[in-house]
């Protein structure tokens, strides 16, 4: 198949390509895990904000009734 490059050279190229692919996959998995962590933190912040908003609204409604 790759007679011009030789068998040893073609094996080295294939190994280098596999290593590069694995590095890219590790980076992609790291990016995806970071994105998931950020989404989880944003979800908690949103929940706290909604709870705070509802608590303040309940206090305002209680003051109006009194």
Task: Quick: pLDDT tens for 16-45.
Answer: 999 999 999 999 999 999 999 999 999 999
Instruction: Please state the pTM of the whole predicted model.
Output: 0.63
The full 3-state SS of the chain, as one line of letters, equals: CCCCCCHHHHHHHHHHHHHHHHHHHHHHHHHHHHHHHHHHHHHHHHHHHHHHHHHHHHHHHHHHHC
């Amino acid at each position: 198949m790759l007679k011009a490059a030789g068998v040893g050279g073609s094996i080295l190229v294939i190994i280098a390509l596999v290593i590069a692919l694995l590095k890219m996959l590790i980076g992609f998995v790291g990016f995806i895990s970071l994105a998931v962590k950020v989404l989880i933190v944003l979800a908690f912040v949103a929940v706290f904000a909604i709870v705070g908003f509802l608590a303040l609204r309940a206090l305002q409604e209680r003051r109006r009734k009194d």
